[in-house]
Amino acid sequence: MSDAASMGRCTVVVGGQWGDEGKGKIVDVLAWEADIIARFQGGANAGHTVHVGEEEFIFHLIPSGILHPGKRCLMGNGVVLDPFQFFKEYDAAAARGVDPEGRVGVSLRAQLLLPYHRLLDRAREGTSPQKIGTTGRGIGPAYEDKVGRRGIRVVDLKDEARARSLLEEGLARARRRLAELGQADLEGSEECVGETLALRERLLTLATDVGLEIHRALKAGKMILMEGAQGTALDVDHGTYPYVTSSNTTAGGAAAGCGIGPTAITDILGVMKAYITRVGEGPLPTALPPDMDEKVRTLGAEFGATTGRPRRCGWFDGVLARYSARVNGLTGLAITKLDVLDTLPELSIATAYRMPEGVAEEFPADTGSLGKVEPVYEKLPGWEASTKDVRKLEDLPYHARSYLDRLQEITVTPITMVSVGTRRSQIIRVS
């Protein structure tokens, strides 16, 4: 057997749509069985909401698994780590009785996201003719520095003098770019050199070789959960470019972003809402007409966890779902927020796109044409009954089961979980 064949399990959880599918809740449910929960991409653009009792927790950087005592939470090399946001979240979790001490690790190879990245992100969004509608958290500029081979990694903090000069160079470069963009106000980011160096030792005590830790844990038969952020249609390669985030949100990104071989991954769970939402710019083929959009947004409380922006709502997009199942290699599907549809008399699912060239069943690479497609809808009756207290698939209303069966057929992927509310207990597990 090869070295990659390990005894443990490694489950990757990815978003199958445009983010906000409810990955935070699904990871929270699965975290009971895991030993390590790791993030592999993105940064503080994520907003993972988890409800515990009457309390709501929103995590942007630290894996949602932190709510489970004793579990190790790691941030892989693929993450862009904002050290200020990170410690803010770390300390806030500690203040609310979640003890992160000794449980959180950050990759030595992770890139630092610094205050000037945030300024660049916002300045660019303000001036560019092609607005992406980013979260303004500095994600794009931080990944640009990474692939431009001028980024600063956690490991670079080890040598203080070198770290200082890298930070000063980074700031000077950002200042020139900001001036080009007509932005002179640095909003206090001049202090970021000193402030980052002040966090140096604290961050280094948490630094670890994430790939090695996961490898050893797998060898020891442990269970690893990899928590994706954003969703398939926001993947920098496979999403609706350029209206995407700057990382690989798809399952392939998990191996590269944590430093393990792809053969170590045993399960890939795609999370999809029973309908769809999108926040930020870019096409949403199955967008609802204004009155229905408003209705679903209210029923589903569809406002961004990071920015508070209203999310656009749409019918379940079977074309995107099938594409997601394929590019991620999904082994299972978690359908969330089924209860949001409880009161609707009739539902639609897009099964194909009508385009000028004809009817397409595959998700197009051309984002411009995606903005002009007319979805081919299949209509299904609503169940018009509450599903919130259902805990077994067989107890669901007949039409709710038919709806789920159809999603399963379209994606050719078995549904393993259905979420019917925000609480931890509001979940149906299909074995």
> Which candidate in 20, 82, 145, 293 is catalytic?
20
| Least distance CB 131 / ligand IMP (angstroms) | 10
Q: Which of residues 57-86 bind Mg ion (CB under 5 A)?
A: none
Of the pair 248, 387, the CB lying nearest ligand IMP is at 248
Q: Which residue is nearest to Mg ion (CB)?
A: 47
Distance of closest approach, residue 134 Cβ to ligand IMP, in angstroms: 4
Residue closer to ligand IMP by CB (options 243, 315) is 243
Q: CA-CA distance, 378 to 417, in Å (whole number)?
A: 23
Does 47 engage in binding with Mg ion (CB under 5 A)?
yes
| 134 contact choice in Mg ion, ligand IMP, none (CB below 5 to 8 Å, kind-dependent) | ligand IMP
Residue count at the site for Mg ion (CB under 5 A)? 3
Minimum CB separation of residue 243 from ligand IMP in Å reads: 6
Q: What are the start-end ranges of the H helices in 148-209?
A: 160-180, 192-206
Q: Is the Cβ–Cβ distance between 229 and 27 less than 8 Å?
A: no
Give the nearest distance from C-beta 388 to ligand IMP in angstroms.
24
| Site residues (vs ligand IMP, CB under 6 A) | 19-20, 45-47, 132-135, 137, 139-140, 229-230, 234, 243, 245-246, 279-280
Q: Which residues are paired to 271 by β-bridges? A: 15, 334
Minimum Å distance from CB 336 to Mg ion?
12
Minimum Å distance from CB 276 to ligand IMP?
A: 12
Which is nearer to ligand IMP, 139 or 174 (by Cβ)? 139
Long-range contacts of 383-391 (CB under 8 A, 24+ apart): 383/341, 383/342, 384/342, 384/343, 384/344, 384/345, 385/342, 386/339, 386/342, 387/338, 387/339, 387/342, 387/420, 388/339, 388/342, 388/420, 388/421, 388/426, 389/420, 390/420, 390/428, 391/425, 391/427, 391/428
Contact residues for 72 (Cβ-Cβ < 8 A; gap 6+) = 35, 36, 37, 103, 104, 105, 213
Between CA 81 and CA 76 the distance in angstroms is 9
- The residues in 276-315 that bind Mg ion, with binding defined as CB under 5 A, are 305
* 215 carries an active-site annotation: no
Which residue, 213 or 235, has its beta carbon nearer to ligand IMP? 235
Nearest CB to ligand IMP, comparing residues 214 and 236: 236
Closest CB to Mg ion among 280 and 375? 280
Strand spans (E) along 237-382:
267-273, 276-278, 312-314, 316-317, 332-336, 346-355, 358-360, 374-381
Residue environment code for 277-314, b if the CB has 16+ CB neighbours within 10 A, otherwise e: bbbbebbbbbbbeeeebeebbebbebebbbbeeebbbb
Helix, strand, coil shares of the chain, percent, nearest 5, are 40, 20, 40
20 touches Mg ion (CB under 5 A): yes
The nearest distance, CB 106 to ligand IMP, in angstroms, is 20
Which of these is catalytic: 28, 35, 48, 117? 48
Nearer to ligand IMP, 138 or 375 (CB): 138
135 binds, among Mg ion, ligand IMP, none (CB under 5 to 8 A by kind): ligand IMP
Which residue, 19 or 259, has its beta carbon nearer to ligand IMP?
19
* Stretch binding Mg ion (CB under 5 A), from 15-23, 214-222, 261-269, 284-292: 15-23
- Rounded to an integer, what distance in angstroms lies between the CA atom of residue 323 and that of residue 317? 10
- Judged by beta carbon distances under 5 to 8 A according to partner kind, the member of ligand IMP, Mg ion, none in contact with residue 140 is ligand IMP
Least Cβ distance, residue 132 to ligand IMP (angstroms): 5
Question: 254 touches which of ligand IMP, Mg ion, none (CB within 5 to 8 A by kind)?
Answer: none
Give the sign of the dihedral formed by CA 203, CA 208, CA 209, CA 214. negative
Strand 374-381 relative to strand 316-317, pairing: unpaired
Amino acid identity for residue 52 in this structure? V
Binding status of residue 264 toward Mg ion by CB under 5 A: no
Residue 20 a catalytic site member: yes
Angle 156-160-165 (CA atoms, 0-180°, nearest 5)?
75
Under rule CB under 5 A, residue 28 binds Mg ion: no
Please list the residues that pair with 278 across neighbouring strands. Answer: 312
- Within 10 A of 408 (CB to CB), how many other CB atoms are there? 15
Q: Which residue is nearest to ligand IMP (CB)?
A: 280
227 binds, among Mg ion, ligand IMP, none (CB under 5 to 8 A by kind): none
User: Which residues are known to be catalytic?
Assistant: 20, 48
Binding stretches for Mg ion (CB under 5 A): 20, 47, 305
